[in-house]
Amino acid sequence: MSDSKVYIFDTTLRDGEQVPGCKLNTKEKIELALQLESLGVDIIEAGFPISSPGDFESVNQIAKTIKNATICGLSRAVQKDIEVAAEALKPAARRRIHTGIGTSDFHIKSKFNATREEILERAIQAVKWARNFTDDVEFYAEDAGRTDNEYLARVVEAVIKAGATTVNIPDTTGYCLPHQYGEKIAYLINKVPNVDKAVLSCHCHNDLGLATANSIAGVVAGARQIECTINGLGERAGNTALEEVVMILKQHHLGLYTDVNAKMLNPLSRLVSETMRMPVQPNKAIVGANAFSHSSGIHQDGFLKDAQTYEIINPVEVGAEESKIVLTARSGRSALAHRLQKLGFQYTRNDIDVLYQEFLKVADAKKEVLEDDLVQLSKSYQKEA
């Protein structure tokens, strides 16, 4: 059987941009949208057009500019929201309206003071209304992670009947465990009679650090779209990190693939980080500064013998700089010899033994031994010899 495609729905410009301090102007949003298009994402959620005139303008400009990816605008299950989203998306070659409503009892009771039946009706009406403007309508069942499965199945069936072509099952609060999220998707696939008429989508938040694991559990269970952001940016602890799901699907043979060009992952991570003024944590998978750095002696020795002993991804594959051998007081002789050699110093084993003792003194006094320190070390050694 041939592999199935997982659609990548990027929401860096919408859910990612909701992070305090990350707000983007129209020019910045267009620049990032162009890069996301080159990255090969299938859908770009460009914003929430009714939220502000600036966001309307951004979505509208992106809709005019982007030719290959589908441009999506968010709306609540409110007629006016949907109309404004449709207006902003009008120039797009491919447009999607993403509308929805909270379906968990927390949302139904506390947010809407409504009943399940009333919410079901509002969901149906929203999708029907959105279908007046485009054939590509995605429905989100907000807080699906904490929504009773039987009720969720009724909602999914009804919105597909009303015309939704994608149904988003968000774990809005990042509450689910991977097996629970996977089971939720599997339950919907088994119970909803018309589920094959729509794509189920995973939209997972990272409150317990499980967004990526949950999204993968979702696609393994049969969902075929992942909603994610560059660097995992998003509300609170963030969203599923695009670079992580793309590389998991590349590294593991799950019968699934994406059309993302992995070589762009690191350059785009840097661009998003700079534009959104959000530093990337150094130990972040795939795009962190230390993702391909080796600093302990045991790891360095193994890596220098064969990179695959300690690296599952070649950094070139994800557009990162080549792997680094960082020198610290935990480094060994082979790492020291390697770094000296890179600077043009050739030493025998005996030389390295002597130099290593001097190196450890410097390393204990500093967090990292740098190139200048190595040159200094080498000069002093040569003077003494």
Cβ at position 227, least distance to Zn ion in Å: 7
Cβ at position 258, least distance to Zn ion in Å: 20
Q: 142 is in the binding site of which of ligand KIV, Zn ion, none (Cβ under 5 to 8 A by kind)?
A: ligand KIV
Asked if 244 contacts 18 with a C-beta cutoff of 8 angstroms, the reply is no
175 binds ligand KIV (CB under 6 A): no
**d(Cα 231, Cα 285) in Å, to the nearest integer?**
9
Q: Name the one range near ligand KIV by CB under 6 A: 167-175, 208-216, 299-307, 337-345.
A: 167-175
Q: Which amino acid is at 132?
A: N
What are residue 327's phi and psi, to 5 degrees? -100, 120
* Helix/strand/coil for 226: strand
Q: 243 is in the binding site of which of ligand KIV, Zn ion, none (Cβ under 5 to 8 A by kind)?
A: none
> Which residue lies nearest Zn ion, judged by its C-beta?
15
Q: 310 is in the binding site of which of ligand KIV, Zn ion, none (Cβ under 5 to 8 A by kind)?
A: none
Q: Which of 112, 177, 179 minimizes the C-alpha distance to 142?
A: 112
Cβ proximity to Zn ion: between 15 and 157 the closer is 15
Specify which residues 170 forms β-bridges with: 203
Cβ at position 369, least distance to ligand KIV in Å: 45
Cβ at position 20, least distance to ligand KIV in Å: 16
**d(Cα 118, Cα 162) in Å, to the nearest integer?**
15
* Stretch 6-25 residues interacting with ligand KIV (CB under 6 A): 15
Specify which residues 71 forms β-bridges with: 44, 95
The token pair that represents 155 in the structure block: 């909602």
Asked if 138 contacts 98 with a C-beta cutoff of 8 angstroms, the reply is yes
Cβ proximity to ligand KIV: between 44 and 355 the closer is 44
Kindly provide the b/e burial profile for residues 32-43, where b requires at least 16 CB atoms within 10 angstroms of the residue's own CB.
Answer: bbebbbebbbbb
Cβ proximity to Zn ion: between 58 and 239 the closer is 239
Asked if 144 contacts 172 with a C-beta cutoff of 8 angstroms, the reply is yes
The separation between CA 363 and the C-alpha centre of its own chain, rounded to angstroms, equals 36
Q: 178 is in the binding site of which of ligand KIV, Zn ion, none (Cβ under 5 to 8 A by kind)?
A: none
**d(Cα 228, Cα 235) in Å, to the nearest integer?**
12
Cβ at position 205, least distance to ligand KIV in Å: 6
* Stretch 119-158 residues interacting with ligand KIV (CB under 6 A): 140, 142
Q: 107 is in the binding site of which of ligand KIV, Zn ion, none (Cβ under 5 to 8 A by kind)?
A: none
Cβ proximity to ligand KIV: between 184 and 203 the closer is 203
The token pair that represents 312 in the structure block: 């599952």
Cβ at position 121, least distance to ligand KIV in Å: 20
Half-sphere exposure of residue 99, counting CA atoms within 13 Å on the CB side? Answer: 34
Q: Which amino acid is at 90?
A: K
Count of residues engaged in binding ligand KIV, rule: CB under 6 A = 8
**d(Cα 341, Cα 209) in Å, to the nearest integer?**
41
Cβ proximity to ligand KIV: between 37 and 138 the closer is 138
Q: How are beta strands 293-294 and 70-76 bridged, if at all?
A: unpaired
Half-sphere exposure of residue 34, counting CA atoms within 13 Å on the CB side? Answer: 9
Q: 275 is in the binding site of which of Zn ion, ligand KIV, none (Cβ under 5 to 8 A by kind)?
A: none
Cβ proximity to ligand KIV: between 168 and 275 the closer is 168
55 binds ligand KIV (CB under 6 A): no
170 binds ligand KIV (CB under 6 A): yes
- Residues of the shown chain interacting with Zn ion in the complex, contacts defined by CB under 5 A: 15
37 binds ligand KIV (CB under 6 A): no
Cβ at position 127, least distance to ligand KIV in Å: 14
Q: Name the one range near ligand KIV by CB under 6 A: 31-39, 87-95, 105-113, 166-174.
A: 166-174
Half-sphere exposure of residue 249, counting CA atoms within 13 Å on the CB side? Answer: 29
Cβ at position 291, least distance to ligand KIV in Å: 27
Q: Is the dihedral of CA 303, 308, 310, 315 positive or negative?
A: positive
Q: Please report, as ranges, the residues that interact with ligand KIV according to CB under 6 A.
A: 15, 140, 142, 168, 170, 172, 203, 205
